[in-house]
Structure 1
Amino acid sequence: MKQIINHDYLESRIQGLERVMKKEKNRRLYERYQAILLHLKGYTNIQIAKIIGRSNVTIGTYVKRYQQARIAGEKPFPFLWSTCHYMNV
């Protein structure tokens, strides 16, 4: 079942993600952000996988983590990296 999302809300998520991506220097994180950005823009996991060069299963994992974090009310994108990244290890 598809969710109906307010266009303004979706646009604000996209803009926020684009701002984060401009500052991101870690290639892997940038790639994960890019996957979520494409997801928010309506691309399928298979399309995203072809664009980014990862498997659709990997893209599905990124999207699932994003959705779980959003439902839990967590900060926008911390779900995409490990706790080691938080601690700069």
Structure 2
Amino acid sequence: MTLLGSFAIVLSPFLIGCISDSEIDWFRLADVGQAYGSVSVLVSALALVGIVATSIIQSRQMRIALEYAQREQHALLLRMAMEGNCSA
């Protein structure tokens, strides 16, 4: 899939030239590409913010899950001690 995308990107100027009947203004197309470059930076920045936020939320959830597991283990030990099932 990646190879196909790379191939399409390399061939796109030639394909545009074959499809178009008139002369192509490559400088204008380059300006349009530069405009999309800034949009690409913004989308990438938003994706990075999303990844960082997800990592923070996941870290908090892991801490909560660990605390819950520790409390469950402590409650189990207390229950075993009160029932006399501990062999220490």
- Whichever of the two has the greater Rg, that structure is 2
Q: Which has the higher contact order (CA 8 A, sep 6+)?
A: 1
TM-score, normalised on structure 2?
0.28
Higher helix share: 2
TM-score, normalised on structure 1?
0.28
